[in-house]
Amino acid sequence: MNAMNTHYPEPVRVEPVNRHTLAVIVDNEPGVLARISGMFSGRGYNIESLTVSETEEARHLSRITIVTAGTNAVIDQIKAQLDRLVPVHRVVDLTLHGGAIEREICLVKVRGEGEHRSEALRLAAAFGAKTLDATLNSFVFELTGSTEEVDRFVRLMSVIGLVEICRTGIAAMARGAEAL
């Protein structure tokens, strides 16, 4: 029996699952991304967004921005396991650094004829999207913004006649003067 002298089991504590953005500085060499993504998949973690680019050519370093979700214990475990990989120099949880700046680029192709054509242009203007291509029956818009803004734009365009979407994934940086 438990502490309260009852036959009922202790209530199960459910920890909240939170979304975290991790910035990882790695050596820019073949196989690094495979090792990092393999660490995630081998342990059953999901990567919601992933962007990679060389940031310091002279030192051959790249920055990987990973968005993942989990309980605090899972996120701590992910950070510790990433930190142990040989090509990894630094792991920073941007979510804990007080509201990192996050942006995503999205290309959206929309069918636009008649009434839907003018509505697509109005929505694009309202969101600040650039028109990259226009034909008599379609548009390609470019939108840069937060994930939420991009999601709202895509939902509204799907009503008009969404044809295709291409998203970059999240690029994120901590606020303030300090470097990563």
The pLDDT assigned to 131 comes to 97
pLDDT given at position 4 = 62
pLDDT of residue 3: 57
Question: Percent of the chain, pLDDT > 90?
Answer: 79
Mean pLDDT, rounded, for 8-29? 89
Spatial CA neighbour of 116 closest among 158, 166, 151 = 158
Q: Tens digits of per-residue pLDDT, 87-126?
A: 999 999 999 877 789 999 999 999 988 888 999 999 999 9
Q: Given a cut of 60, is residue 1 above it in pLDDT?
A: no
Strand duo 162-173 + 101-111: pairing:
antiparallel
What percent of the chain is predicted at pLDDT more than 70?
98
Position 82 pLDDT exceeds 90: yes
Check residues 112 and 75 and name the one with the higher pLDDT.
Answer: 75
What's the order of all strands across the beta sheet hosting 162-173?
130-134, 138-145, 101-111, 162-173
